[in-house]
Each structure stands twice: as C-alpha cells, then as structure tokens.
C-alpha cells in the first residue's frame, strides 16, 4: 500500500486536478484507490461530482464522531472517497489535544488503509493542522509544480517544512515531483524543469502534464478528464503519469 500526500502551498499549480485524475487513472489500471479530501474548499469532492448539502466528511471522522464506513463513498469503480464535508474548516482552529492534533488522520484511517493499493490525500494550500495531518500520516509526497518562477519559490518553502518534520520525527519523506500546466515551447518552463531536475534527481516523474482547457473545465461538471475528454492530451498525460507512479519512471537530466 502506498499513501501519498498531494501538496503544494502555492495555489494554481494543479494540485486537486492531479489528485482527481491521477487517482482515477490508477483505479482504471485495476488498483484499489482511496482519496481523502483534506481541503475545506472541497474541490476534490466536487470534481468527483460528490458534493452534497449537509454532507458528513473527514472532519467527522477525525473528531471521532463517525466511523470510516459512515463517511466513505464510492466515487468510481475501484475508487472510494472521503469527502471534505462541511465541518473541515473547524479543524484548522482546533485547540484541544496538543501535539496529538497532528496524528488524527493517521489514527482514524490506520485500520482501513490496507484494504487499498493507493491512498491519495488532497491537501489544503497551507501548513496548518490539516496539512500537518497529511504529512504525518504519509511517508510519500507528490508535489505538483507549474512551469513558472514563483513555483520554485513555493517549492523552496515547502522543502523547509519537510526538513523540519523529518528532523523532529527522525524519518525521511519520499518526495516526488510532477510538472503541471507545462508548455514545452516556453523557455521559462524548460528552465524550471531543469532546475527541479537538479534539486530532485531521479524523483521527477517522466510525464509532464500539458496545459489544456479541458483539465480546467472537467471538475466543473463533476467529471474526471477521462469522462470529459477521454481522447485528449490531458487524459493521455494523466494515464501516462499513472504508469510512471506505478513503475517508478522518472525524468533524467
């Protein structure tokens, strides 16, 4: 079983788009997948077409008020989802529990995750309690990085957080990078790619995700890219990325 936190504090890099479509691609390849929407904005839940009024979700699970089986829903074949729910924002302001607040997710799902081949956690664009729960529950992170200068700055800040956690816990987090919103013709995008390859040799997945309108549009219809435009570049890229993740295929400088 592999559990990956999909995380980047910089907005607009395709974090939720990557969680949504990579998870569906892996599920289509026959793997049993669980997605956890840990972002109060609930974009992943909406992208799967699972957003409901008065919805229970991950907050109810983390607070111990509902069981795993009460909040998990089947979003697609081979793919389950724990929705964000309406109370998730409350957890960012949770003061009780001290250091234990960071381990709520790990403790809540530990009994069930061995039923899955992959668990993807869609993280909020912040380093608060929710992001910390994702990082403490996982040993792998997937970092979507868009091809622009500010993406490198955001990546630098994120690395500082990883180093702090690794120092405190005396553990190592496996870090993977996927290039998103990529435009090969832009020199800046190629420069960013080369810099990231220098920072993360053998840890940048082989397939960059090209910028396409369909990837931006599909979540608004509650569809993944495979359901919205199954023969386009977006679907091709995410299916290839799924192969990279499954087989460990990476770029080489």
Q: Evaluate whether residue 158 is within a structural domain.
A: no
Banded pLDDT at 166 (limits 50, 70, 90): confident
Question: For 197-208, what is each residue's pLDDT tens digit?
Answer: 988 889 999 999
Q: Evaluate whether residue 156 is within a structural domain.
A: no
Q: Evaluate whether residue 1 is within a structural domain.
A: no
* Domains: count for the chain: 1
pLDDT of residue 98: 54
Distance of alpha carbon 211 from the chain centroid = 18
Q: Evaluate whether residue 148 is within a structural domain.
A: no
Q: Who wins on pLDDT, 64 or 44?
A: 44
Q: Evaluate whether residue 174 is within a structural domain.
A: yes
pLDDT of residue 89: 81
Q: Who wins on pLDDT, 229 or 13?
A: 229
The pLDDT of 23-41, averaged and rounded, is 97
The pLDDT of 101-127, averaged and rounded, is 92
Residue with tokens 């023969």: 231
Q: Which two tokens stand for residue 211?
A: 């910028």
pLDDT of residue 50: 97
Q: What is the CATH number of the domain that holds 104?
A: 3.40.50.300
Give the global pTM.
Answer: 0.93
Question: For 213-253, what is each residue's pLDDT tens digit?
Answer: 999 999 999 999 999 999 999 999 999 999 999 999 999 87
Q: Evaluate whether residue 64 is within a structural domain.
A: yes
Banded pLDDT at 147 (limits 50, 70, 90): confident
Cα distance between the two ends of the chain: 29
Q: Evaluate whether residue 33 is within a structural domain.
A: yes
Q: Evaluate whether residue 79 is within a structural domain.
A: yes
pLDDT of residue 187: 85
Beta bridge partners of residue 204, listed in sequence order = 177
Where do the H-state alpha helices sit in the chain?
Answer: 15-28, 43-47, 58-62, 68-71, 88-91, 104-109, 129-137, 149-169, 187-199, 213-217, 225-228, 233-247
CB 10 within 8 A of CB 150: yes
Instruction: DSSP for 71-136, please give it.
Output: H-EEEETTEEEE---TTHHHHTT--TTGGGGGGHHHHHHTTTGGG-SEEEEE--SS-SHHHHHHHH
Find the domain containing 231 and state its range: 6-142+163-247
List of residues 6+ apart from 72 with CB closer than 8 A = 34, 80, 81, 82
The pLDDT of 69-87, averaged and rounded, is 96
């Amino acid at each position: 079983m592999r559990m990956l936190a999909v995380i980047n504090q910089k907005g607009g890099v395709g974090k939720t788009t990557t969680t949504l479509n990579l998870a569906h691609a892996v599920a289509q390849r026959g793997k049993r997948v669980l997605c956890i929407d840990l972002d109060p904005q609930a974009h992943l839940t909406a992208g799967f077409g699972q957003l409901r009024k008065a919805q229970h979700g991950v907050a109810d699970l983390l607070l111990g008020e509902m069981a795993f089986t009460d909040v998990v829903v089947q979003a697609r074949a081979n793919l389950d989802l724990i929705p964000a729910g309406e109370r998730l924002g409350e957890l960012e302001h949770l003061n009780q529990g001290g250091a234990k607040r960071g381990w709520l997710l790990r403790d809540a799902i530990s009994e069930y995750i061995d039923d899955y081949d992959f668990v993807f956690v869609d993280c909020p664009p912040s380093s608060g309690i929710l992001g910390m729960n994702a990082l403490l529950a996982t040993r792998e992170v997937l970092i979507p990085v868009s091809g622009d200068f500010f993406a490198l700055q955001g990546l630098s800040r994120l690395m500082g957080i990883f180093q702090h956690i690794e120092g405190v816990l005396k553990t190592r987090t496996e870090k993977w990078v996927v290039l998103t919103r990529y435009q090969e013709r832009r020199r800046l995008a190629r420069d960013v790619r080369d810099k990231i390859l220098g920072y993360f040799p053998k840890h940048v997945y082989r397939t960059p995700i090209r910028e396409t309108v369909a990837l931006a549009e599909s979540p608004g219809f509650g569809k993944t890219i495979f359901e919205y435009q199954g023969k386009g570049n977006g679907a091709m890229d995410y299916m290839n990325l799924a192969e990279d993740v499954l087989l460990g295929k990476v770029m080489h400088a």
